[in-house]
Structure 1
Amino acid sequence: MLDFLNDLLWGKVLIGVLIALGLWFTVGSRFVQFRYFGKMFGILRLSQTKRDKYGHLSSFQALLLSVAGRVGGGNIAGVAVAITLGGPGAIFWMWMVGLMGMATSYLECTLAQAYKKSEPDGTYRGGPAYYITRGMGAKWKWLGALYSVLLLITFGFGFTALQSYSVATSFNDAFGIPPIYTGLSLAMVVGLIIFGGVKRIAQASEVMVPVMAVGYLAIAVVVLGMNLDRIPDVFVLIVKSAFGLEPAIGGGIGAAILMGVKRGLFSNEAGLGSAPNVAAVAYVPHPASQGIVQSFSVFIDTLILCSCTAFIILLSGIYDPATIAGQGGVALTQAALADHVGEWGRVFVSLALFLFGFTTILYNYYLGENSLSFFRGNSQNLFNAYRVASICLCGWGALTDLGTVFAFADVTMGLLALANLFALAMMFKTGMRIMKDYDDQIAEGIETPVFDSRRFADLDLDHKAWDLEPDHKAQIEARKQRKTA
Structure 2
Amino acid sequence: MLDLLNELLWGKVLLVLLVAVGIGFTIASRFVQFRYFGRMFQILGSRQAFRHDKHGHLSSFQALVLSVAGRVGGGNIAGVAVAITLGGPGAVFWMWLVGVMGMATSFLECTLAQTFKQPQDDGTYRGGPAYYIVKGLGRNWRWLAGFYSALLLLTFGFAFTALQSYAVSTSFNDAFGVPVFYSGIALAMLVGLIIFGGIKRIARISEVLVPFMAVGYLLIALIVVGMNIDRVPEIVTLIVKSAFGLEPAIGGGIGAAIMMGLKRGLFSNEAGLGSAPNVAAVAYVPHPANQGIVQAFSVFIDTVIICSSTAFLILLSGVYDPGAGGNVEGIALTQAALADHVGEWGRSFVSVALLLFAFSTILYNYYLGENSLNFFSRNNQNLFNAFRVAIVLLVCWGATTDLGTAFGFADVTMGLLAVTNLVALILLFKKGLRILKDYDDQRRQGVSQPIFDASQHPDLNLYPQAWELEPEDRERLRASGAKAQPAPSTTKA
TM-score (norm 1): 0.97
Q: Report SS of the residue matched to 1:38.
A: helix
1:26 maps to a residue whose letter is T
Deviations 1:124-154 (A, max 9, x none): 1000000000100111000000000000000
Report Cα offsets for 1:107-135 as digits up to 9, x if no partner: 00000000001112121100000000010
What is residue 490 of structure 2 aligned with on the other side? none
**Contact (CA 8 Å) 1:95, 1:302: kept in 2 or not?**
yes
Answer whether contact 2:53 2:470 (CA < 8 A) is retained: no
Pairwise CA distance, 1:385: 0.3
Q: Indicate the residue corresponding to 1:127 in structure 2.
A: 128
Q: For the structure 1 residues 97 and 325, does the alpha-carbon distance in structure 2 shift closer, same or farther, using more than 3 Å as the test?
A: farther
Q: Give the number of aligned pairs.
A: 481
Residues 1:241 and 2:242 aligned together: yes
Letter in 2 for 1:39: R
User: C-alpha displacement at 1:472, in angstroms?
Assistant: 5.3
- Contact 2:135–2:461 (Cα < 8 Å) also in 1: yes
- The within-5 A match list for 1:200-279 is 200-279=201-280
Query: What RMSD in Å do the two structures reach over aligned CA positions?
Result: 1.5
Distance in 1 separating the partners of 2:331 and 2:20: 32
Asked if the contact 1:47/1:60 (under 8 Å) is kept, the reply is no
Q: Give the Cα–Cα distance (whole angstroms) in 2 for the partners of residues 478 and 382 of structure 1.
A: 42
Whether the aligned pair in 2 keeps the contact of 1:84 and 1:325 (CA below 8 Å) is: no
User: Structure 1 counterpart of 2:32, which letter?
Assistant: V
SS in 1 for 2:457: helix
**SS of residue in 1 equivalent to 2:42:** helix
> Distance between the aligned counterparts of 1:399 and 1:60, measured in 2?
35
Q: Which amino acid letter does the alignment assign opposite residue 371 of structure 2? A: N
> Residue 463 of structure 1 aligns to which amino acid in structure 2?
P
Q: Is the CA contact 2:63–2:279 (under 8 Å) kept in the aligned structure 1?
A: yes
Deviation at 1:16, TM superposition (A): 2.0
| Alignment pair present for 1:13 and 2:13 | yes
What CA distance in whole angstroms lies between the structure 2 residues aligned with 1:152 and 1:5?
A: 20
Superposed counterparts of 1:80-479, under 5 Å: 80-323=81-324, 325-471=326-472, 473=474, 475=478, 478=484
Q: How does 1:59-70 map to 2 (within 5 A)?
A: 59-70=60-71
Any unmatched runs of 5+ in structure 1?
none
Q: Does 1:37 align with 2:37?
A: yes
Residue 68 to residue 47, structure 1, CA distance change in 2 (3 Å): farther
Q: Distance in 2 between matches of 1:331 and 1:131?
A: 41
TM-superposition CA deviations, 1:270-305 (whole Å, max 9, x none) = 000000000001110000000000000000000000
CA distance change for structure 1 residues 116 and 479 in 2, over 3 Å: closer, same or farther?
A: closer
| Shift, 1:391, TM fit | 0.5
In the TM superposition, residue 323 of structure 1 has moved relative to its aligned partner by 3.8
TM-superposed CA distance for 1:463, in Å, is 1.6
Residue 462 of structure 1 deviates from its aligned partner by 1.5
Whether contact under 8 Å (2:90, 2:243) holds in the other structure is yes
Structure 1 residues 49 and 453: alpha-carbon distance in aligned structure 2, compared to 1, 3 A threshold: closer
Once residues 273 and 378 of structure 2 are traced to their aligned partners in structure 1, the CA distance between those partners, rounded to angstroms, is: 23
Query: Aligned partners of 2:129, 2:163: CA distance in 1, in Å?
Result: 24
Quick one: distance in 2 between partners of 1:273 and 1:31?
Answer: 21
**Contact 1:169 / 1:179 at 8 angstroms: preserved in 2?**
yes
Amino acid at match of 2:35: R
| TM-score for both structures, normalised by structure 2 | 0.95
Report the residue type matching 1:69 in the other structure: G
Residues 198-255 of structure 1: CA distance to partner in whole angstroms, max 9, x if unpaired? 0000001011101110000000000011001111111111111111111243432111
Amino acid at match of 1:228: I
- Does structure 1 retain, via aligned residues, the 8 Å contact 2:242–2:250? no
Maintained 8 Å contact 2:95/2:261: yes
- For the 8 Å contact 1:249–1:255, the answer to whether it is kept is no
Could you say if the C-alpha distance between residues 151 and 313 of structure 1 is closer, same or farther in structure 2, counting changes exceeding 3 Å?
A: same
**How many percent identity over aligned positions?**
71
Alpha-carbon shift at residue 417 of structure 1 (Å) = 0.2
- Indicate conservation of the 8 Å contact 1:84/1:249, yes or no: no
